[in-house]
Every structure is written in C-alpha cells, then in structure tokens.
Amino acid sequence: MGKLPDKSPDADVTDFLSKVAATANPKAAGRKGRLVFALDATASREPTWDRACHIQAEMFSETAALGGLEVQLLYYRGFGECRASRWAADAPELLRLMTGVRCLGGQTQIRKVLTHAIRESAKGKVDALVFVGDAMEEDIDRLCHLAGELGLLGAPVFLFHEGGDPIVRRAFEQIARLSGGAYCPFDSASAQQLRDLLSAVAVYAAGGRQALLDFEGRRGGGRLRLTHQLDRKK
C-alpha cells in the first residue's frame, strides 16, 4: 500500500478547522449544546491517557458564556466493555469521570460509539460527537453507514487520530466526511494543538459557527487562524 503524502501539522489544523467552520450552525437558542465525547481506552493509549484527560476536560473553559455545554463521556476498553456516563455540565465533573477510567487491552468498538450517538440523538439533539483514538479494527463499510446516519441527524463526528497509521487515517477521514465532521491527527508532542482543537469543537457545539468565529477573534489568530481560513473559503 502506498504511503500517504506528508503534511505539516499546521496544514492538518488548517484543514480541520476549515471543515468545522463550514458546518451549519447546530444550536437552537435557549438550550445548552450537547457533545458526546468518546475515547478509545484500550492499552495502546495508556502512555498518554492522564495528560489527555486534563486537556480534554478544558473543553468547558471557552463555552460558559455561550449558554454552556453538556458533555457525555463514552469509552470502550477490554473485552466488549463500552460505557457511557451521565451528561456532565462542568469541567470538574468531566475530569472526575475521566480520571476514574483506566486503560485495558482490547479491540476497537467504534461501531458502538457511533450507534450510541445515534440513539442519544433520538432522545435529544446531539450537536457533535468527538472521538479520540489510535486504531480501527472493524468493518469500515459498516462504520461509514453509521457515520452517514449521523450526518443526516446533524451530528457531525470530529475525529482526533493519535499516531500515524495510514489505514486508520483513511478510515477516520471517511467517517468524518460522511458525517459532516472533520479529522485531525495529533501526537504526544502536540498537547497545545489538541487543546486548541478540542476547545474549537466545544465552542462550535455550544454556540454554533458564529461563536467559533468569535472564539478565533479572541485568540487573535494564533495557532488556529480560523478567520483567515473562512475568508479563503468564500
């Protein structure tokens, strides 16, 4: 299988944020945004787990002024274990839930993640599904079908890929495309990049596209450069 062309981290961030910004405003006035936050908690992710937990809990910090954000933690690990938390409405609660999880060897269960998000969407609007993982060991056609269902429900999937496996990358990119979401790789050296990107998705879920533009404006360009990318897309 041929090697994917190399892309700089900045180019990956640019592509990701352009796709986030291009999605429609998902949030109706008068309610909190809802985001399902799914994690691969299998053994391969253990070296970066604790640091990632703290980064991921910071998603709330940019959303309080937008009416708030509710996050449901979903993780899989071990032999068929896939669990969802209650909806959390603040960073300390999410961090407490996340730090109580320990990695355990097992195969990926991305199908269960996507199916869960579809079920939650039937109960109440889900504005986004975030998935953080490093592997994919399932039937890609089935996953793509579920991703398409989420796209029809207006629940885009934003996938953060730890590691450089090209087969996983292709799978995650297809899931993102079919759901109307976006894909971005990261590694153990890109903690600030992951923090910025997760904050951007949280802002999108809590306040929609305009809130995302305002978020970039407050950052003064910086690493995200979202306004510049939006202007280029016009």
Residue 158 lies in a domain: yes
Q: Which residue range forms the structural domain that includes residue 88?
A: 32-233
Asked if 40 and 78 touch (Cβ cutoff 8 Å), the reply is no
Rounded CA separation 181/33 (Å): 16
Length of the chain: 234
pLDDT band for position 61 (50/70/90)? low
**Residue 98 identity:** M
What digits encode the pLDDT tens for the residues 135-179?
Answer: 999 999 999 999 999 999 999 999 999 888 999 999 999 999 999
Whether 27 is covered by a domain: the verdict is no
In a domain, 24, yes or no: no
Amino acid at site 191: A
Element (H, E) at 162: strand 157-162
**At residue 222, does pLDDT exceed 60?**
no
- Is residue 166 assigned to a domain? yes
Q: Answer whether 141's CB lies under 8 Å from 109's CB.
A: no
CA–CA distance, 199 with 66 (Å, rounded to integer):
13
Q: Is residue 21 part of a domain?
A: no
Mean pLDDT of 179-204: 81
Mean of pLDDT values over 52-56 = 73
Other Cβ atoms closer than 10 A to 46 = 13
Q: Give the number of domains in the chain.
A: 1
Q: Would residue 150 count as lying in a domain?
A: yes
Q: In sequence order, what are the beta bridge partners of 81?
A: 77
Q: How far apart are CA 123 and CA 138, in angstroms?
A: 27
Lookup result for tokens 């405003």: 25
CA distance 208 to 144: 25
The enclosing domain of 53 has a CATH number of 3.40.50.410
Instruction: Give, for 123, the enclosing helix (H) or strand (E).
Output: helix 110-123
Residue 18 counted as domain residue: no
**Domain-embedded: residue 22:** no
pLDDT higher than threshold 80 for residue 193: no
Tell me whether strands 128-133 and 81-88 are parallel, antiparallel or unpaired: unpaired
